[in-house]
């Protein structure tokens, strides 16, 4: 295997393992008045973003089932390095119960 590919794979493995560390400097806001967030899961701050001093926001559209569980997510915008951490966290959130399915807009801000 060429040295360049090996280095890349090693860096990717380290980044994936370190992505499991707890988040630092991450805040979240829900921009919808319809459904209250009952339970938030903080995203893990990606190690690659931490090492390269990447910060920014990720905006996610969340479809919430009537029981308050997240049905689906769709990224509206944000830094590609931060997107997966944001989507993984928001997918675990719980919202207040509602008579029907709703769509919420959530923005998570990552700062090292």
> Is residue 63 within 8 Å of 70, Cβ to Cβ?
yes
Per-residue pLDDT of the chain (112 residues; tens, 9 = 90+): 444 434 443 344 333 333 333 334 445 554 444 789 999 999 999 999 999 999 999 999 999 999 999 999 999 999 999 999 999 999 999 999 999 999 999 999 998 7
Provide the pLDDT for residue 35. Answer: 86
Number of helices (H), then strands (E), belonging to the chain: the values are 3, 6
C-alpha span between 43 and 86 (Å, rounded): 6
> Is residue 76 within 8 Å of 62, Cβ to Cβ?
no
Q: Which domains are present in the chain?
A: 3-110 (3.30.2420.10)
Provide the pLDDT for residue 34. Answer: 75
Distance set, CA 13 to CA 16, 17, 112 (Å): 5, 6, 21
Provide the pLDDT for residue 17. Answer: 34
Provide the pLDDT for residue 28. Answer: 52
Q: Is 44 helix (H, G, I), strand (E, B) or coil?
A: coil
pTM, two decimals, is: 0.70
């Amino acid at each position: 295997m060429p040295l360049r590919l090996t280095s890349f794979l090693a860096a990717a493995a380290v980044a994936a393992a370190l992505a499991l560390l707890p988040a630092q400097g991450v805040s979240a806001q829900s921009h919808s008045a319809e459904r209250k967030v009952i339970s938030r899961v903080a995203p893990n701050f990606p190690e690659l973003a931490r090492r390269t001093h990447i910060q920014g926001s990720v905006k996610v559209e969340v479809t919430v089932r009537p029981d308050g569980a997240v049905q689906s997510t769709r990224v509206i915008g944000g830094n590609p390095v931060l997107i997966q951490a944001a989507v993984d966290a928001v997918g675990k959130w719980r919202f207040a119960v509602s008579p029907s399915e709703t769509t919420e807009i959530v923005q998570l801000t990552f700062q090292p």
